[in-house]
Structure formats: C-alpha cells, structure tokens
Amino acid sequence: MHHLDLGLFNYQITFTYNLLKELHGTLILDELDNKLANIPRFPELKIFKNRIQSLFRIIANEYRNLIKVIIFVLDNLDISEALNKKLLNLYEVWNNMYIMSRVSRIMLLA
C-alpha cells in the first residue's frame, strides 16, 4: 500500500501538476490551490491550505486524504473539456484500483 501512496500516486500528482503548468501556466495552479483550500473540513480529512507545491513533501496518510478529494479539485477546472474529462477519468480509474487493492489486502489479512 505504501508503494501506491508514496510512489505511484505521487508520480500521478506530479505528472498532472507539470502537465497543467506546461499547458496553462501558474494561474491554473492557483486555481488548484484555491479549490484544495476551500474543501470543507471533516474529521480525519487533512486539507491542504498551502500551495500545491507543498504536496511534494507529504506523507502516505496525507496522500490517502488527497486521493479522496482530487477528483473534486480537478472537476471543472478552467482547462479544455477534453483534458478535464481525461484527467477525471484517470483519477476515477486510479481510485477504483486503489479501493480494490485495499479491499483485497484486508481480505488476505482476515
């Protein structure tokens, strides 16, 4: 699980960050920051009030929190509809795979 949290998901976030920055500049990163900071507070859900760059220094538990909200952060970004749809699909598939891996791990441990 740690490999998924810190390895693959970290790479996916970094890729998305770099892609958006290259295509749309730093203004899109400000929009991501605002969306992350404006997520309502819930128990057991850490919200990132700092800039998106702070995401590169977080621990696995914080990545798990980000996995829970990233689709909502990316939804309706001020980017092309085609790119937005592809990114949302990518993270939806990721979340489904992640959930399945956690469930199968729990079943193996039972």
Looking at the chain, how many residues does it have? Answer: 110
What are 57-89's pLDDT values in tens digits? 666 677 777 888 889 999 999 999 999 999 999
User: Which of 107, 108, 13, 17 minimizes the C-alpha distance to 60?
Assistant: 13
Q: What is the pTM of this model?
A: 0.76
Q: Any idea which residue has 């980017």 for tokens?
A: 79
User: Do 77 and 28 form a contact (C-beta atoms < 8 A)?
Assistant: yes
**Average pLDDT value for the chain:** 80
Taking the C-alpha atoms of residue 87 and residue 84, their distance in angstroms, rounded to an integer, is 5
